[in-house]
Amino acid sequence: MKDISSFIFEKSKYFTLTDDERNSLVECIGYITGDLGDIDDIKNFETVKKELSEDELKQLNDLYDCLEDKQTS
């Protein structure tokens, strides 16, 4: 099975998300980072968060900020 980076680069030089896909990604990242959702939502993603390093969590926070910024839509 290919990793996500290989899949993206094989399919296209540019990877485009639909608005619905973008919103879903923002929501998922928001739950992982704790920027979105209530306590129960955030707890559901706690196991994912535990698997990430501090650098990866920082990158997710940065990605969340970028995707959530309506000017980058």
Sign of the torsion formed by the C-alpha atoms of 41, 17, 59 and 69:
negative
Residue 16 pLDDT = 76
Query: Worst-scoring range by mean pLDDT, 14-18, 21-25, 37-41, 62-66?
Result: 14-18
pLDDT digits (tens, 9 = 90+) for 20-38: 988 898 999 999 998 888 8
Residue 17 pLDDT = 78
**pTM of this structure:** 0.69
Q: Looking at residues 43-64, what average pLDDT do you find?
A: 89
Ordered by start, the domain boundaries in the chain are 16-72
Residue 18 pLDDT = 85
